Amino acid sequence: MAVKREYNVAALTKAVRIVEYIKEKEGATLLEIYEELSLPKSSTYQIIQALIGYGILRQEVDKKYRLGFKLFEYGQASVAGIDLRQIARPFLEELAERTGHTVHLGILNDQYDGIFLDRVNGKTYTFTHTRVGARIMLECSATGKALVAWQEEPLREQIIQRLNFEKATQPNAIKTAEAYRKDCDLSIKRGYAVDREESCPNICGLGMPLFRHDGKVGGAIAVGGLIQMLDPDNCEKEITLLKKTAGEISKHLGN
């Protein structure tokens, strides 16, 4: 029994790795999966077929495997249980309407990865890389910086130690943990986090944390748009509205 249980755990671990890989690649062939993950071809195929049977994966006409609709059902059920999204939605819509910029809502999950929980498109620019449920670039985005900067020590340091600054490839992006710590301190001092073309060319963002009843960070919101329309050095209106919105949502969270 011990051997069988150990095998089941190993198979489950492989299945999770396969699903994670397909999610990150937004689709992959069998060859890509077993070569990139260094898995045996036969067992990889068997696991994929089992996942297809449960609706977790699907194969399309281009022979690539993609996430199945069962995961969408799971995700919708999970999001439905998160009060934050429901509470924040009307405030996000108002902020997007009044600023004209796209508004994001993000949280940290139990593994301290940033996740986009909601997005309201603005009038000036539509983001293509910030889907609901996608990971947030904590290293460089305004939402991510706001999620990290206001965390209590030593949690903030724990998160910083896990960041991969090589993923932040834009010229303005922060490249070291020490520089990131200084940026966090600056964010707290001025009251908001800034993404100055750090996550995407020509795009800037302003982020602020949301606080729960216990005073801890419960999420973050951010406005983002083209630098021609959202200049971090001349954005008093956006900062005022962002601060007001963050405060209103925090009140509904009990802060």
pLDDT of residue 147: 97
pLDDT of residue 1: 44
pLDDT of residue 82: 53
Residue pair 104/143 in contact by the 8 Å Cβ criterion: yes
pLDDT of residue 178: 96
pLDDT of residue 3: 46
pLDDT of residue 81: 45
pLDDT of residue 126: 66
pLDDT of residue 76: 58
Question: Rounded to whole angstroms, how far apart are CA atoms 177 and 192?
Answer: 19
pLDDT, tens digit, for every residue of 136-151?
A: 999 999 999 999 999 9
- Residue stretches of the chain with pLDDT short of 70: 1-7, 72-73, 75-82, 125-128
Cα angle 86, 55, 117; round to 5? 20
pLDDT of residue 2: 46
